[in-house]
Amino acid sequence: MKDMPQLGMGTFRLEAEQARQAVSDALEVGFRHIDTAQFYGNESEVGDAIQTSGLKRADFFVTTKVWYESLGEDQFMASVHESLEKLKLEYVDLLLIHWPYPGDDITLESYLNRLKQAKELGLARHIGVSNFTIDQLDQAEKILGKGEIYTNQIEVHPFMQNRAVAQACRERDIKVTAYMPFAVGKVMHDDTLTAIAKKYDASAAQVVLSWMEKRHIYAIPSSTSKTHLAENLAYGGVQLSDEELEAIDELDNGERIVDPDFAPKWD
């Protein structure tokens, strides 16, 4: 699969058998993009689910991410090979830097060039970044050249729309991929979203996914419920009006959920 599907399945916090079953269910109901990471500790289970799905390699899209502790010269390529071994794949469709390196003993230039090398070696079809600020995107583009960064995966949901970074990505022709699109379930309890959902006989999650597509944002929600997975995939039945889209735009209050102590200085 050459292009990243609009909707993928995230696997953060899914472990062991639960991860394997959830990915199997996702593929069965029709998901064709699975997002994982070295840090999640579930690449082997994701690989098992993919292998037993019966799908041809060209029919699905897999993303994994290099953890910041593996960005040094000694660990980077070994960690990518280990990820591929666990995933039981010859290549991933998308390889990301999970977080910009928080120290100053490994340069951005060095690990981005290692990322590009992974692509040149055929270990990844596309390369990108996650949690990068506008300044880091600018630096990355200078290092790698225009058009190399496929996506910046960032926290986006109705309550934290990350507009400055999203706009910077669009201006550089970098796809925006939203993690935590449902704000760890908070969207299900928002009055605006539930009112819109009721009008369409839909879920608040479907409303959010429809809004994201209209705003040109890719999404990778996580779920362990086969019913919810199928519902998420069917979000296309919700066609929001301009007024509804604007009402969701107005929910932005800058509520950031993911902010570890090694995070960059956010825009």
Judge if pTM exceeds 0.85: yes
Q: What is the pLDDT of residue 80?
A: 98
Q: How confident is the model over 99-113, as a mean pLDDT? A: 97
Q: What are 39's two structure tokens? A: 């840090």
| 129 vs 33: CA distance, rounded Å | 17
Is residue 239 exposed (0-12), middle (13-18) or buried (19+ Cβ within 10 Å)? exposed
Q: Are strands 149-155 and 124-130 parallel, antiparallel or unpaired?
A: parallel
- Look at the domain 9-182+217-223 and name its fold: TIM Barrel (3.20.20)
Nearest to 193 by CA among 178, 171, 209, 174: 209
**Active-site hit among 40, 101, 179, 218:** 40
Judge contact between 63 and 35, C-beta under 8 A. Answer: yes
Judge contact between 169 and 137, C-beta under 8 A. Answer: yes
Judge contact between 145 and 177, C-beta under 8 A. Answer: no
Judge contact between 200 and 207, C-beta under 8 A. Answer: yes
Q: What are 211's two structure tokens? A: 């809004």
Q: What is the pLDDT of residue 123?
A: 98
Q: In the chain, where are the structural domains located?
A: 9-182+217-223
Amino acid at site 43: E
Judge contact between 103 and 135, C-beta under 8 A. Answer: no
pLDDT in tens, 63-99: 999 999 999 999 999 999 999 999 999 999 999 999 9
Q: Does the annotation count 40 as an active-site position?
A: yes
pLDDT in tens, 36-68: 999 999 999 999 999 999 999 999 999 999 999
Amino acid at site 1: M
User: Is 228 annotated as belonging to a binding site?
Assistant: no
pLDDT in tens, 199-258: 999 999 999 999 999 999 999 999 999 999 999 999 999 999 999 999 999 999 999 999
Q: How confident is the model over 177-193, as a mean pLDDT? A: 97
pLDDT in tens, 149-166: 999 999 999 999 999 999
Judge contact between 220 and 35, C-beta under 8 A. Answer: yes
246 three-class SS: helix
Q: What is the pLDDT of residue 1?
A: 64
